[in-house]
Amino acid sequence: MKIKLFVLYGGKSVEHEISLRTAFTVLGSIDRDKFDVYPIYITQQEGAWCCSGMQEHARTTIEELVMEPEFTSATESMGSVLLRYVSGEGKKVALPLLHGSNGEDGTVQGLMELLDIPYVGNGVLSAALTLDKVVSKQLLSQAGIRQTDHISFLMEQWNEEGHSLLNRMEKSLGYPVYVKPATLGSSIGISRCEDRAALMQGIEHALRFDRKIVVECEVAGREIQVAVMGNERPLASLPGEFIHRHRFFDFESKYMDKELVMSIPAELPSYTMERIREYAIQAYRVLCCSGLARVDFFLDSDGEIYLNEINALPGFTGTSMYPVMWERTNGTAYSELIEKLIDYAFMRHADRLTVQYAR
């Protein structure tokens, strides 16, 4: 009997569009001989759940993935989808492809735990940790992993003591700096700032998307990425990097530039390559990850390695770095990679079932 695969995408998040791109590629690559596929679209404004049943064939355009909810209420729509499609008998697994808030942050993962449904990717704790740049930096720092110098603060702090914060940032970080929302990805809300006016503007821009802000000093050098997958015994891919002409690799650069070139493996000394892979696995374990993650590093001109961030749900289109790194590391094809991640989901769920809840 085929496995019921519930693919969640869209979501109440500023990264809604990225989720649609990921879902379009994934849904087009799933082996329908092995899985009964149920796409579940979550609207951007209300967070309403939509499902039209099992999808026998992949859609031909991204626009076809967008559905109209039967109920606009998130509660009613979620209950309807869960009762009508998810609660039935049979072996089942969820594949959350929700980038950013309300999906990549542990919320949907918690729902799957309550429903006792295996799901692909990181658990509640690791999803929350990895999405929050401030908390993850604190934990990685305690583990002795080198990172860029940074300062973080809340909206209330900025409103009450903005001038002193500016002085502190200029004294300890200098310019240029990067301003980032603490709990977003895809370079949304990020600004590169070379003076105080730009810094103030960048902070106000980032506060549109988050109440917690991170300001980091710039590391001049290369951006190196590593794909990691697995549960207790994670594996790290060969490192890769994008060759590009952009000073700041922002949202438009990542997703609109047709001239990006992947270099996999990245041209690195063997010693540096292995250190980066080791740091990637160490960070993966420190943040309690399982299933998959992409770990991003900076490499400066002196060969020093700085961990930038860890992404618990990296881009997963056919041209995203994560799947391509695995294909060039050990020949794992895109559809095979999805099935491996599903296997990890079942293994983690089986481990969880060994825990008893009564004495």
CA-closest candidate to residue 91, choices 40, 32, 34: 34
Q: Which residues, 6 or more positions from 254, have their beta carbon under 8 angstroms from its beta carbon?
A: 186, 187, 260
Q: Based on the domain organization, do 11 and 79 belong to the same domain?
A: yes
CATH of residue 51: 3.40.50.20
Is 196 part of any domain? yes
Say how many domains are in the chain.
3
Indicate the Cα dihedral angle 111, 117, 120, 124, nearest 10°: 30
Q: Based on the domain organization, do 58 and 76 belong to the same domain?
A: yes
DSSP string across 135-184: HHHHHHHHTT--B--EEEEEHHHHHHHHHHHHHHHHHHT-SSEEEEETT-
Is 7 part of any domain? yes
Q: Based on the domain organization, do 103 and 47 belong to the same domain?
A: yes
Residues 122, 112: contact at Cβ < 8 Å? Answer: no
Residues recognised as catalytic: 15, 186, 320
Q: Based on the domain organization, do 167 and 87 belong to the same domain?
A: no
Q: Based on the domain organization, do 233 and 283 belong to the same domain?
A: yes
Cα–Cα distance measured from residue 142 to residue 60, given in angstroms and rounded to the nearest whole number: 47
296 carries a ligand binding annotation: yes
Is 178 part of any domain? yes
167 carries a ligand binding annotation: no
Is 126 part of any domain? no
Burial class (CB in 10 A: 0-12, 13-18, 19+), 176: middle
Is 239 part of any domain? yes
Residue 190 half-sphere exposure toward CB, CA atoms < 13 A = 24
Domain interval for residue 60: 3-119
311 carries a ligand binding annotation: yes
Q: Based on the domain organization, do 225 and 210 belong to the same domain?
A: no
Is 279 part of any domain? yes
Q: Based on the domain organization, do 348 and 226 belong to the same domain?
A: yes
Cα–Cα distance measured from residue 285 to residue 136, given in angstroms and rounded to the nearest whole number: 12
Report, in angstroms and rounded to the nearest whole number, the Rg of the chain calculated over CA atoms. Answer: 21
pTM above 0.85, yes or no: yes
Q: Based on the domain organization, do 249 and 320 belong to the same domain?
A: yes
Token pair of 131 as six digits: 């999405």
Q: Based on the domain organization, do 242 and 265 belong to the same domain?
A: yes
Q: Based on the domain organization, do 204 and 241 belong to the same domain?
A: no
pLDDT in tens, 261-302: 889 999 999 999 999 999 999 999 999 999 999 999 999 989
Residues 326, 311: contact at Cβ < 8 Å? Answer: no
**CA distances to 54, 92, 190, 262 from 228, in Å:** 31, 24, 25, 17
- In a structure prediction context, what are the per-residue pLDDT tens digits for the chain, which is 359 residues long? 899 999 999 999 988 999 999 999 999 999 999 999 999 999 999 999 999 999 988 888 999 999 999 898 999 999 999 999 999 889 999 999 999 888 889 999 999 999 999 999 999 999 999 999 999 999 999 999 999 999 999 999 999 999 999 999 999 999 999 999 998 766 788 999 999 999 999 999 999 999 999 999 999 899 999 999 999 999 999 999 988 665 655 555 554 556 678 899 999 999 999 999 999 999 999 999 999 999 999 999 899 999 999 999 998 887 789 999 999 999 999 999 999 999 999 999 999 988 888 88
Q: Based on the domain organization, do 231 and 343 belong to the same domain?
A: yes
Is 142 part of any domain? no
Is 135 part of any domain? no
> What number of helices (H) and strands (E) belong to the chain?
11, 14
Helix (H, G, I), strand (E, B) or coil at 53: coil
CATH of residue 288: 3.30.470.20
Q: Based on the domain organization, do 264 and 288 belong to the same domain?
A: yes
CATH of residue 179: 3.30.1490.20
Which one of 217, 244, 259 terminates a domain?
A: 217
